[in-house]
Amino acid sequence: MSIDEALLSSFDPINSLPSFRVYSWSPPALSIGRFQNPSKEIDLERCNRDNLTFIRRITGGGALYHADELTYSIVCSIEQIPETVSVKDSFRVLTGFLLDFYHALGLNAAYAVDAVSNKGQLGGRTSFCYAGKETFDILVDGRKMGGNAQRRLKNIVFQHGSIPIKDCTTSGLQYMVDRSTGYAEDSASLIGCGIDSDVDSLKQALIESFGRRMNAAMQRCRLTHEEDMSSKKLLTEKYSAERWNLRGEIT
């Protein structure tokens, strides 16, 4: 999370090139949305007992358990993406590569708005990410595949999301205060859908899907010195601090 925020805070909307990052989590961790109250929604005692790290994201939404998954992040200026009519529409634009990725794997993937017959079921805040469906969440055969969240900073767009390799929602649900069993019954994963490709192949396919969808030439790069220093400072002063993770306080 510190690297993602460093990429965002170091981004110059006039001179910087867009970034697309793909990473994984080890060991597993729980991330909570920017405005969640962990003392009310997360079983902190169980997290401590199992030595499970939880961190607060800079984006909203419900809690996500990160284990066997790929995670992506995008940082770009508004001008560097195709024209959109609204913030919600930019979700459609910036998640289009995920649809292409799933389709290339032979999966029946669609946006929730196109796959759910009762549009009244869409929307509404939930403490556990998989418990709800938003307009441009991606469903595979009607089940939610991962989650995506976005934040705007002046003229900059930051978005990140998860691609579950193995379904770990039941494992994650045990760390919530509300453990309603239905929350883990409507989720999808690549292995659950019969995809058993190795992680490196999936990463490469994801990168290629992004490049094709965004008509972008992809070039591997390392963090700049500024990004690296910013990330280390954020890790020490923010993402390792209880005042941020527990209370959402920056200073």
User: For 58-101, what is each residue's pLDDT tens digit?
Assistant: 999 999 999 999 999 999 999 999 887 788 889 899 999 999 99
Alpha carbon distance 152, 53 (integer Å): 26
Looking at the chain, the whole-number percentage of residues with pLDDT higher than 90 is 80
d(CA 140, CA 102): 8
Residues whose CB is less than 8 angstroms from the CB of residue 123 and which lie 6 or more positions away in sequence, other chains included:
132, 133, 134, 135
Looking at residue 118, its pLDDT comes to: 63
Structure confidence by residue, pLDDT tens digits, 195-242: 999 999 999 999 999 999 999 999 999 999 999 999 999 999 999 999
CATH architecture for the domain at 2-245: 2-Layer Sandwich (3.30)
> What mean pLDDT do residues 140-154 have?
92
* Tokens encoding 58: 């800079």
User: Is the CB of residue 148 less than 8 Å from the CB of residue 161?
Assistant: yes
Output the pLDDT for position 99. 97
Q: Residue 33 — pLDDT band, cuts 50, 70, 90?
A: very high
pLDDT category, 157, cuts 50, 70, 90? very high
Q: Show Cβ contacts of residue 77 under 8 Å, excluding neighbours closer than 6 positions.
A: 11, 13, 14, 16, 18, 155, 156, 157
% the chain with pLDDT above 70: 96
Contact by Cβ (8 Å): 195, 188 = no
Mean of the per-residue pLDDT values of the chain: 92
Map out the domains of the chain as residue ranges. Answer: 2-245
The whole-number average pLDDT for the span 5-33 is 96
Distance, in Å, from the CA atom of 52 to the CA atom of 146, rounded to the nearest integer, reads 20
Q: In the structure encoding, which two tokens stand for residue 96, read together?
A: 């289009």
CA angle 149, 153, 158 (to 5 degrees): 35
